[in-house]
């Protein structure tokens, strides 16, 4: 199975300031109607990947994270761990039915593996 990058996420210490910046700069629509504080980004084109803005955890700085599609989130997270990655958020089902895990690669860069639910 191919493992494409399917989404990006901007984790920001100031998401209420980050959202209007990118919206004004690139013309993105940012939808903030989410009870968990997630702001979904629509870039305006089907080409490329869509993303979102999420409040960064207090212990981290702001950063960008890529989500890579896999066939089995748990298996991919375990394989990454065997290769030296650290699991930050274990495989978990999200309210919309998607599944994801967040990891740090051996150099400390954050990335996520995900499986999108069939809709």
Q: Are strands 50-55 and 5-12 parallel, antiparallel or unpaired?
A: parallel
Predicted pLDDT at 50: 92
What does the alpha-carbon distance between residue 24 and residue 105 come to, in Å, rounded to a whole number?
33
Query: Quick check: is 37 in a domain?
Result: no
Query: Quick check: is 110 in a domain?
Result: yes
Q: What is the count of structural domains for the chain?
A: 1
Cα-Cα end-to-end distance for the chain: 20
For the segment 25-65, what is each residue's pLDDT rounded down to a tens digit?
999 999 987 777 889 999 998 888 999 999 998 898 899 99
**pTM beyond 0.75:** yes
Contact 76, 99 (CB under 8 A): no
Looking at residue 76, which CATH number applies to its domain? 3.10.180.10
Query: Quick check: is 56 in a domain?
Result: no
Q: Which domain holds residue 82?
A: 70-119
Query: Quick check: is 114 in a domain?
Result: yes
């Amino acid at each position: 199975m191919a493992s494409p990058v399917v989404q990006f996420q901007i984790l920001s210490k100031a998401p209420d300031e980050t959202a209007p910046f990118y919206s004004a700069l690139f013309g993105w629509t940012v939808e903030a109607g989410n009870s968990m504080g997630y702001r979904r980004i629509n870039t305006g084109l089907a080409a490329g990947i869509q993303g979102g803005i999420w409040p960064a955890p207090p212990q981290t700085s702001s950063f960008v994270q890529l989500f890579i599609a896999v066939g089995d989130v748990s298996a991919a997270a375990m394989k990454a761990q065997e290769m030296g990655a650290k699991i930050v958020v274990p495989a978990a089902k999200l309210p919309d039915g998607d599944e994801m895990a967040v990891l740090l690669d051996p150099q400390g860069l954050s990335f996520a593996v995900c499986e999108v639910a069939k809709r």
